[in-house]
């Protein structure tokens, strides 16, 4: 039981999959330290809470509550993401509701605000019932939020284009605030793919409900997407970019300690010479692409640090690991402290799947990219990186071949000046990212607004 002088009680609902809970918790931590007299109840599944709160269910004015994950008794195959998500969503509304009632009794105070992962669109009704503000967190970029929000509009406009040849490669202006987008890069479930899948349905319902939010916040900075920000600010209440998170949270988000000594390995490398390679926590490129990358690295003699799960390392060409370790060309590790790695001056390019966190961490560190997107919002993120922000080399044909990878690496890492434009634009965005989080920068001010919305007058 919480004792003491708590003046307000905020309930937080996590979407208990992938990197969603730790990202949301990092914002709750910032809010909790800005408003020490407010208690935050953090609702997630036992499995995720266990890793987020390893020692105790309570840290300062944040208390964690477990809700049921919806998995049937004896269900032995968690890890099939879509199945797990569907089972969870089937019980989520009731579970969260019951959880709030229990937490209100436990803390001895009604909640005054409901803060949720935007995927939990149905919780807007609970906020109405309880007569409290509903605040939503979109864990990715303004670009993918826009495509979801404008799904109906995009489907209408697209119906007119449909049928023309090579329609996936068509570049149009379908999204308000975004002059160009390649149709094939819009998330599956909006115009291509299964429009009726549970995930597509969830995203579509979310789009319909988001205008009811008192505030919507994202991990970005508004100078990155001025036109999208302007447009989303006109359709949402308090649309707030409060990132990049990796520049504001002292906490090293997903990055665990440097157990494989990546940073000391980088110390001996020339500035801007090393390729850092990682495809995030979920994506696994097919074996032949891993081989193509490895061959290109050896062919171009590019120094590299590669975060690659143990399971995938067996697909590398024979002798590759040993050769490159002995001659010092590269280092393959199952996990790297990515934020610190990207901040290291030795890194000259980030070969990435275009996950939103990776993209933003790269921008905040001023590292140009080579994107190889797989699914979800990765293709549209990569579109932004390459074609809107112009801070990447493109992989010819959209997947890794030896030749295409050699060319992409050469084009970013060359010292002959051919990558000058990319490097200048990358540096300019890095500066804007850093300015945004400084006192009175846009993200700083937007965070203050978020504090006001979430805790009212109770901030310190």
* Catalytic residue numbers, as ranges: 20, 117
* CA angle centred on 284, ends 279 and 285, rounded to 5°: 85
* CA 105/CA 45 separation, integer angstroms: 20
Site string for ligand UDP, 310-339 (x = CB under 6 A): -------------------------xxxxx
Three-state secondary structure call for residue 13: strand
Q: Which of 361, 373, 383, 389 binds ligand UDP (CB under 6 A)?
A: 361
Site for ligand UDP in 369-388 (CB under 6 A): none
Site string for ligand UDP, 103-142 (x = CB under 6 A): ----------------------------------------
Q: Return the number of the residue (336 or 384) whose C-beta is nearest ligand UDP.
A: 336
* CA 302/CA 291 separation, integer angstroms: 15
Cβ 254 to ligand UDP, closest distance in Å?
A: 4
- Segment near ligand UDP (CB under 6 A); pick from 125-133, 228-236, 324-332, 351-359: 351-359
Q: Return the number of the residue (120 or 154) whose C-beta is nearest ligand UDP.
A: 120
Is residue 356 near ligand UDP by the rule CB under 6 A? yes
Q: Return the number of the residue (43 or 306) whose C-beta is nearest ligand UDP.
A: 306
Q: Which of 243, 355, 366, 441 binds ligand UDP (CB under 6 A)?
A: 355
Cβ 332 to ligand UDP, closest distance in Å?
A: 11
Cβ 205 to ligand UDP, closest distance in Å?
A: 22
Residue nearest to ligand UDP (CB): 355
* CA 452/CA 459 separation, integer angstroms: 8
What does the radius of gyration of the chain's CA atoms come to, in whole angstroms? 22
Q: Which of 2, 18, 195, 432 binds ligand UDP (CB under 6 A)?
A: 18
Q: Return the number of the residue (50 or 251) whose C-beta is nearest ligand UDP.
A: 251
Question: Do the Cβ atoms of 402 and 295 come closer than 8 Å?
Answer: yes
Secondary structure (H, E, C), 14-72: CCCCCCHHHHHHHHHHHHHHHCCCEEEEEEEEHHHHHHHCCCCCEECCEEEEEECCCCC
Cβ 271 to ligand UDP, closest distance in Å?
A: 21
Question: Do the Cβ atoms of 348 and 367 come closer than 8 Å?
Answer: yes
Q: Return the number of the residue (282 or 428) whose C-beta is nearest ligand UDP.
A: 282
Token pair for 294: 């490895």
Site for ligand UDP in 227-286 (CB under 6 A): 253-255, 278, 280-283
Contacts of 449 (CB under 8 A, 6+ apart): 215, 238, 240
Is residue 44 near ligand UDP by the rule CB under 6 A? no
Cβ 321 to ligand UDP, closest distance in Å?
A: 17
Cβ 338 to ligand UDP, closest distance in Å?
A: 3
Q: Return the number of the residue (249 or 281) whose C-beta is nearest ligand UDP.
A: 281
Nearest to 450 by CA among 24, 17, 7, 58: 24
Cβ 279 to ligand UDP, closest distance in Å?
A: 7
Q: Return the number of the residue (127 or 262) whose C-beta is nearest ligand UDP.
A: 262
**Rounded-to-10 torsion of CA 228, 230, 236, 242:** 80
Angle between helices 81-107 and 123-130 (to 10 degrees): 10
Contacts of 153 (CB under 8 A, 6+ apart): 174, 176
* CA 14/CA 96 separation, integer angstroms: 10
CB atoms within 10 A of CB 241: 26
Q: Report the interface residues with ligand UDP, using CB under 6 A.
A: 18-19, 253-255, 278, 280-283, 307, 335-339, 355-358, 361
């Amino acid at each position: 039981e919480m004792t003491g002088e708590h003046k307000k009680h905020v309930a937080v609902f996590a979407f208990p999959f992938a990197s969603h809970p730790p990202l949301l918790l990092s914002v709750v931590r910032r809010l909790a330290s800005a408003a020490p007299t407010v208690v935050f109840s953090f609702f997630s599944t036992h499995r995720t809470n266990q890793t987020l709160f390893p020692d105790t269910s309570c840290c300062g004015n944040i208390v964690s509550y477990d809700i049921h994950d919806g998995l049937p008794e004896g269900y032995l195959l968690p890890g099939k993401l879509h199945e797990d998500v569907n089972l969870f969503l089937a019980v989520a509304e009731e579970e969260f509701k019951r959880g709030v009632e229990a937490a209100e009794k436990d803390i001895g105070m009604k909640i005054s605000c409901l803060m949720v992962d935007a995927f939990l669109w149905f919780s807007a009704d609970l906020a109405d019932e309880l007569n409290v503000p509903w605040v939503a967190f979109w864990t990715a970029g303004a670009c993918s939020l826009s495509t979801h929000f404008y799904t109906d509009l995009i489907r209408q406009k697209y119906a007119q284009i449909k049928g023309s040849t090579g329609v996936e490669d068509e570049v149009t202006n379908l999204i308000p605030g975004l002059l160009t987008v390649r149709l094939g890069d819009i998330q599956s479930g909006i115009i291509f793919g299964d429009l009726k899948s549970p995930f597509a349905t969830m995203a579509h319902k979310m789009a319909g409900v988001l205008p009811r939010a008192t505030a919507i916040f994202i991990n970005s900075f508004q100078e990155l997407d001025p036109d999208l920000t302007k447009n989303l600010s006109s359709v949402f209440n308090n649309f707030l970019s409060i990132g990049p998170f990796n520049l504001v949270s002292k906490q090293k988000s997903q990055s665990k300690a440097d157990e494989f000594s990546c940073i000391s390995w980088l110390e001996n490398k020339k500035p801007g010479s090393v390729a850092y390679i990682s495809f995030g926590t979920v994506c696994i490129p097919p074996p032949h692409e891993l081989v193509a990358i490895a061959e290109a690295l050896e062919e171009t003699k590019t120094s590299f640090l590669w975060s690659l799960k143990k399971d995938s390392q067996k697909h590398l060409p024979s002798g590759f690991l040993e050769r490159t370790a002995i001659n010092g060309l590269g280092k393959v590790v199952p996990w790297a402290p990515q934020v610190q790695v990207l901040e290291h001056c030795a890194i000259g390019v980030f070969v990435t799947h275009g996950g939103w966190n990776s993209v933003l961490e790269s921008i905040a560190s001023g590292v140009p990219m080579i994107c190889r997107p797989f699914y979800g919002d990765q293709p549209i993120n990569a579109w932004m990186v390459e074609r809107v922000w112009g801070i990447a080399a493109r992989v010819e044909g959209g997947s890794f071949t030896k030749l295409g990878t050699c060319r992409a690496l050469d084009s970013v890492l060359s010292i002959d000046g051919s990558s000058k434009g990319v490097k200048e634009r990358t540096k300019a965005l890095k500066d804007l990212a850093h300015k945004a989080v400084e006192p009175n920068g846009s993200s700083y001010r937007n965070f203050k607004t978020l504090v006001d919305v979430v805790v009212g007058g109770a901030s310190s």
